[in-house]
Amino acid sequence: MTRGLLGAVIALPFALSLGLSLVAGCAADSKEAKTAKDAKDSAQAAAVENAPKPVEADRSRCDPSGKKVVEIDVNKDTRADVWKFFASTLDQGTKIDVLACKEVDLNFDNHKDMWVYYDAQGNITLEEFDLDFDGKIDLWTYRQLGKVQRQELDANFDGKTDIWKFYENEKLVRIERSSNKNGKIDVWEYYEGGKLDRIGYDTTGTGRVDKWDRGPEEAAEGAAPAPGGTAPAAAPAAPKSAPPTPPTAEQ
Ligand SMILES: [Ca+2]
Ligand SMILES: [Ca+2]
Ligand SMILES: [Ca+2]
């Protein structure tokens, strides 16, 4: 896959999401309801900030020592492009080889660009991609029992993560963004039933939400043409299962 294609695939969904975040959508709540909502949102934001980080993948799965390594030359240029590491394990008394790690040179330039970690049962726990082929990883997809749990993306390839996506039962529930691309989160997008429900902003640099946009997706749909036309341009694609090849930043 070319750098341009990867860039386009990754940029489009994120541009759509960014566009959504710019749509203001505050309903005229009563004062009491607004205060209650603020308290709820603050509690949610605090809970998110204090939540323990998910368990990291076992990095030793891609350590070749003690493992059987199988090399595959996909494009027949006599150089390997895919490496599979197999760990020996006992299954009901019988020694078997289980795939522990897969590394891939996607663009055949002799540098690896993709790393896939597997647990002892063969489920993918982590996929890493170097999307711009500069030797540094830019996209991480963490899975539990094979299901996407969270994704992290360094969208501008400067070594700092800019976008974090969180999933529950493979449904997108939250996106956190560092809008200044400095690694500091200042935008929190909350999704309910696959729809963008509200966006919290840290406008003062405290690390806490101090401004909310509510129902931004409904506001965007309300501004869309009457029924019979095409779908609103601002409506994000419904979550779908991740493709087996990169990039998988947008679900
Ligand atoms: Ca490569
Ligand atoms: Ca990179
Ligand atoms: Ca970055």
Q: CB of 187 within 8 A of CB of 177?
A: yes
Query: Residue 203 belongs to what domain range?
Result: 1-58+157-251
Q: CB of 143 within 8 A of CB of 152?
A: no
CA 86 / ligand 2 centre spacing (Å):
27
Tokens 């799965």 correspond to 61
Dig out the tokens for 83 from the structure.
Answer: 């490496």
pLDDT given for residue 14 in this prediction: 42
pLDDT given for residue 33 in this prediction: 60
Q: Where are the alpha helices (DSSP H) in the chain?
A: 3-21, 31-50, 216-222
- Single pTM value for the model: 0.67
Domain count, the chain: 1
CA distance to 37, 80, 162, per residue, from 184 (Å): 25, 39, 8
Contacts of 240 (CB under 8 A, 6+ apart): 251
CA 134 / ligand 2 centre spacing (Å):
5
CA 141 / ligand 2 centre spacing (Å):
15
> How far apart are alpha carbons 14 and 156 in whole angstroms?
12
Report every protein residue that has its C-beta within 5 angstroms of ion ligand 1. 105, 107, 109, 111, 113
Q: In the chain, pLDDT over 90 holds for what percent of residues? A: 57
- The answer as to whether 71 is a domain residue is no
- The answer as to whether 89 is a domain residue is no
CA 148 / ligand 2 centre spacing (Å):
21
CA 131 / ligand 3 centre spacing (Å):
12
- The answer as to whether 216 is a domain residue is yes
From the CA of 137, the nearest ligand is 2
Report every protein residue that has its C-beta within 5 angstroms of ion ligand 2. 130, 132, 134, 136, 138
From the CA of 179, the nearest ligand is 3
- The answer as to whether 27 is a domain residue is yes
More confident residue, 209 or 245: 209
Residue 250 pLDDT level (bands cut at 50, 70, 90): very low
Q: Of 39-48, 102-111, 156-165, where does mean pLDDT reach its minimum? A: 39-48
CA 86 / ligand 1 centre spacing (Å):
22
CA 207 / ligand 2 centre spacing (Å):
27
- The answer as to whether 110 is a domain residue is no
Kindly report, residue by residue over 198-239, the tens digit of the pLDDT. Answer: 999 999 999 999 999 997 776 666 655 544 444 334 434 433
Q: Where are the alpha helices (DSSP H) in 27-186?
A: 31-50
From the CA of 110, the nearest ligand is 1
CA 4 / ligand 3 centre spacing (Å):
18
> How far apart are alpha carbons 55 and 117 in whole angstroms?
14
- The answer as to whether 16 is a domain residue is yes
Residue 194 pLDDT level (bands cut at 50, 70, 90): confident
pLDDT given for residue 231 in this prediction: 39
Over residues 166-180, mean pLDDT: 96
> Can you say whether the dihedral through the CA atoms of 52, 58, 62, 63 is positive or negative?
positive
- The answer as to whether 34 is a domain residue is yes
CA 159 / ligand 3 centre spacing (Å):
5
Residue 57 pLDDT level (bands cut at 50, 70, 90): confident
From the CA of 159, the nearest ligand is 3
Residue 25 pLDDT level (bands cut at 50, 70, 90): very low
pLDDT given for residue 157 in this prediction: 96
CA 150 / ligand 3 centre spacing (Å):
17
> How far apart are alpha carbons 100 and 119 in whole angstroms?
7
Kindly report, residue by residue over 76-121, the tens digit of the pLDDT. Answer: 999 999 999 999 988 899 999 999 999 999 999 999 999 999 999 8
From the CA of 1, the nearest ligand is 1
pLDDT given for residue 89 in this prediction: 87
pLDDT given for residue 24 in this prediction: 37
